[in-house]
Amino acid sequence: MRQLQAGLPGKIDIPELIMEIRRRIAQQEGQPLIEKAMFAVVNNRRLFHSILRTASVTQAPFARDGFIRHLPMFLSKLTDFRSLPAIADVPFRDRIKKIDQPKSQEKVAFYSGCLIDFAYPGMGEALVKIFNKAGIEVVFPEAQTCCGAPARYSGAYEVAAQNAADNIKALTEADASYVVSACPTCTAALKYEFIKTFESLGREELISEANELSAKTMDFSSLVKKLVDEGRLAFKNARQLTKLTYHDSCHLKRTLNVFEEPRELLKKAGYEIVEMFESDICCGMGGSYSLKLPEISSPILERKLKNIRETGASVVAMDCPGCVMQIRGGFDKEGTPLSVQHTVELLAEMLEQGCRSMPECRCVPS
């Protein structure tokens, strides 16, 4: 009562309360058949990857310039308000094997998430280039699978727990100094949600392992900022500043509390940042919900695109491949020639020549 009288919040964790309600509904009523089928495919890593590799070939009639702009029949609503990314011809998990990296005792295990692996492998290559410049070898544990966020957010905690257990095994076996992801949703899962999922299910035997993984996990921008502060990475001095605006991804700012680091890095890389109105308001992606509820996602995206355009910037940056998918797809659909880039891509373009930590190393070419 005193809290209410003083106007103080009740400190109720509304998101976790919603998650618990979804979990109980899933337990009592079971999952919809479509969700069951989807999770069964995603959790079968070999089957899921085989389907995506096949889709990269069969998408040919619909894919143009890296986008799928129209889909037939009942799938048509998925491309009504934005274009979707085409599946990459060669996923990142295959590309990294061909990158000549420096052999180093210091390693980073890269958790790519599904979008970077199969839709935006160039982001993964840019990440390898950046860490190689600091003399760090990037390893890609091939047994990594979905982070479990779609399952957990749907209330399917048992499915999410299996995802978590599989990823913990794959990533800890890499014996790396850090586990890094360039997807904030995946980073939040590795750092916090694996633990919460095991706690909800009473899986005490796995909580300590999840805590060990959490301690090693960092988002991309925070780890790169650390390397820059240590003098292990530097960027070219740009002669002419490019105007850029930055979109704060929901999980990066609200869950990971990261928003200054990417801005500081982009400024060091020679970009002039023009802040947009509502920079930390959702773009409408929301994971799978933009596919389930396009009537909600579309107006949210429209507002975000308007705010970006009004800055007059020619580039918009963000640290989430899901947001890239949403915003890049929105601008493509409306025909606006505005560059939408992940921070990792922009930083990789502006690295100084040569490694600062290991001059003899053979990095990804600049």
Structural domains in the chain, sorted by start: 242-349 (3.40.50)
What percent of the chain has a predicted confidence (pLDDT) above 90?
61
Produce one character per residue of 86-103: b if its CB has 16 or more CB atoms within 10 Å, e if not. Answer: bbbeebbbebbeebebbe
pLDDT of residue 324: 97
The runs of H, that is alpha helices, within 192-293 are 194-201, 204-216, 220-229, 250, 260-268, 289-292
pLDDT of residue 234: 92
pLDDT of residue 357: 47
With cut-offs at 50, 70 and 90, classify the pLDDT of residue 291.
confident
Mean of the per-residue pLDDT values of the chain: 87
pLDDT of residue 33: 73
Instruction: Note the pLDDT tens digit of each residue in 98-147.
Output: 999 988 889 999 999 999 999 999 999 999 999 999 999 999 999 999 99
Residues with Cβ within 8 Å of 361's Cβ and at least 6 positions away in sequence, in order, are: 101, 102, 104, 132, 135, 355
With cut-offs at 50, 70 and 90, classify the pLDDT of residue 196.
very high
Please state the pTM of the whole predicted model: 0.88
**In a 3-state reduction of DSSP, which class is residue 272?**
strand
Average pLDDT over residues 261-284: 95
pLDDT surpassing 80 at residue 226: yes
pLDDT surpassing 50 at residue 363: no
Dihedral angle sign, alpha carbons of residues 213, 219, 222, 225: positive
Instruction: Note the pLDDT tens digit of each residue in 134-192.
Output: 999 999 999 999 999 988 888 888 999 999 999 999 999 998 999 999 999 999 999 99
The dihedrals phi and psi of 96, each to the nearest 5 degrees, come to -65, -25
Bridge partners (DSSP) of residue 339 are 315
pLDDT of residue 75: 67
With cut-offs at 50, 70 and 90, classify the pLDDT of residue 74.
low
pLDDT surpassing 80 at residue 77: no
pLDDT of residue 354: 53
Tell me which residue of 101, 240, 116, 125 sits closest to 185, measured CA to CA: 116
Q: What is the rounded CA–CA span in Å between residue 145 and residue 68? A: 25
Q: How many residues does the chain have?
A: 366
What tokens appear for 164 in the block?
Answer: 């978590």
Tell me which residue of 29, 158, 167, 104 sits closest to 363, measured CA to CA: 104
Q: What is the rounded CA–CA span in Å between residue 257 and residue 252? A: 6
Average pLDDT over residues 11-22: 79
With cut-offs at 50, 70 and 90, classify the pLDDT of residue 231.
very high
Q: What share of the chain is helix, strand, coil (3-state, %, to 5)?
A: 55, 10, 35
Q: Say which residue the tokens 């958790």 belong to.
A: 111
| HSE-CB for 364 with a 13 A CA cutoff | 23
pLDDT of residue 165: 96
218-222, 344-348, 357-361: least confident range:
357-361
